[in-house]
Amino acid sequence: MFRALIVQRHNHSVSDEEFLQLLKAHVDHGFVLIKNDTSGFKSEDDYVDYLVELTRAGLEQRTQEAAPVIETTPAFGGLLDLQIGRKADSGEAVSVEFNRQTNNYLAVTGKPGSGKTQFVKDLLAQIRRQSENKVNFIFFDYAKGDVADDAGFVEATQAEVVRLPEESLPVNPFSRVNVNSETAVRVAAQEFADLIRDVEKRLGTVQAQLLYDAILRGFETQRGENPPFPDFEIIKQEVEWDYHSNNRKLDTLTEIMRQLNDFRIFATARQGNLWANLTDKTVIIDLHGLTVLRELTVCLVLTSIYRELMAMPDSNVTDGIREMRTIIVIDEAHHFLKDKKRNAILERLIREIRSKGASVFLMSQSPDDYDQHNFDFTELLEFIFLLQSNAGATKFLQNAFGLSSAEAKSLSAEVSGLPTAEAVGKSYDEDRKEKVSRLRVRQFWREKGAKEN
């Protein structure tokens, strides 16, 4: 039977050897398609629905409806040996082998003016220089647009700046959905509806269901079109049609969709020149002028990055060094850490993307932000630097550095009086053993990511 099918498919008779080769090729191709389709599935129900759909559609039709090919961002395989600064007491240089660590995530905490942003900018400039600009970053700039306005930093890192809402992000959050799979579309619609409901607290369960239905109709409207997926303008139209048809009063959902559309936070599909990938971009997203939907915007971008990375193969590890693709930098991270539903998005990102050659940098004003009731983020943060902060960091210091209660209490009092650009962080002695040290950390305005002589 299989031989007859293959002869019919290829329209010529085949030898025994050629038949076996073609049979194997068809089977292998089928497994690739199934792997691509199911890469984002979260539950057994997703797989059952998919298999039912596959059986109903038939193999020939399914082959024509292959999932879109995901472009893989190339990874940098060299060692990133980052200079941190110097020990405050001895002046000894301190450095870290950034991508030799299991969890190469970083947290920097400090009051405004403590030097935390200048420190992170210098680390990013070093990474860009050492990787010959092959390791990218996406920087969410919350505070006054100071990072986006730093021409020296933009030039040193060759970063692109997108200022919201003056400009639109050339990203369509729906573009990575396999529109040829009904199950994939339903799963994506549910994820988007749940995300918006969780981030925008005023949105209720009924409104989330209406949004889910509108997203499904948006995908159906675009079936066979170019591009074959909706944008927020189309989803807004579907929401308005439902409300008008059913005499519903305008509410939170219609207001959110209006703001997403009116402010053009995300580009419409017809604008063209949309970014195919985010992980191959080095971009500073200036959020300080965006007075509405800031957290939702960041969460939608983070979700897009997550989907993109999880569709890529794991980056290689050679001699303990992991290849790196991109770094996600979140300023004013307390907007996410202190909210249970928002920090769930961040927690999923941190737990799952490290094998893909990606890292997360978190910047916040208070050490208390990292210790939440449902999850202690310090468990997954390898590099932690505490600059001048309010007293009361005792618990954070215990968890972050493994100190006793008495040691942490003493160090907490010291932290509150640290001078600008001084921090408490890990360093290593001559035997490469970890210890907690007081450090004078590098500042971009002074070092500009240059290699220390």
Tens of pLDDT, residue by residue over 116-175, are 999 999 999 999 999 999 999 999 998 777 899 999 999 999 999 999 999 999 999 998
Is it the case that residue 284 has pLDDT exceeding 90?
yes
Q: What is the mean pLDDT of residues 21-36?
A: 73
Which of these ranges, 233-242, 297-306, 405-414, has the smallest mean pLDDT? 405-414
Q: Give pLDDT, residue 60.
A: 46
Which of these ranges, 204-213, 328-337, 387-396, has the smallest mean pLDDT? 387-396
Q: Give pLDDT, residue 130.
A: 97
Is it the case that residue 354 has pLDDT exceeding 50?
yes
Among 74-78, 226-230, 396-400, name the most confident range: 74-78
Q: Give pLDDT, residue 125.
A: 98
Q: Give pLDDT, residue 428.
A: 60
Q: Give pLDDT, residue 67.
A: 47
Q: Give pLDDT, residue 452.
A: 75
Q: Give pLDDT, residue 51.
A: 74
Among 251-255, 388-392, 405-409, name the most confident range: 251-255
Is it the case that residue 9 has pLDDT exceeding 90?
no
**Higher pLDDT pick, 55 / 82:** 82
Q: Give pLDDT, residue 64.
A: 40
Which of these ranges, 146-150, 336-340, 440-444, has the smallest mean pLDDT? 336-340
Instruction: Count other C-beta atoms under 10 Å from residue 201's C-beta.
Output: 11
pTM of the model: 0.82
Among 19-23, 37-41, 353-357, name the most confident range: 353-357
Q: Give pLDDT, residue 257.
A: 95
**Confidence band of 453 (pLDDT split at 50, 70, 90):** low
Mean pLDDT across the chain: 86
Q: Give pLDDT, residue 320.
A: 93
Q: Give pLDDT, residue 437.
A: 87
Among 101-115, 247-261, 418-432, name the most confident range: 247-261
Is it the case that residue 46 has pLDDT exceeding 70?
no
**Higher pLDDT pick, 98 / 43:** 98
Is it the case that residue 370 has pLDDT exceeding 90?
no
**Higher pLDDT pick, 244 / 333:** 244
**Confidence band of 211 (pLDDT split at 50, 70, 90):** very high
Q: Give pLDDT, residue 258.
A: 94
What b/e readout covers 384-412, taking b as 16+ CB neighbours within 10 angstroms?
Answer: bbbbbbeeebbbbbbbbbebeeeebbebb
What whole-number percentage of the chain has pLDDT above 90?
50
**Confidence band of 271 (pLDDT split at 50, 70, 90):** confident
Among 21-35, 164-178, 274-288, name the most confident range: 274-288
Q: Give pLDDT, residue 436.
A: 85
Q: What is the mean pLDDT of residues 240-261?
A: 94
Q: Give pLDDT, residue 43.
A: 60
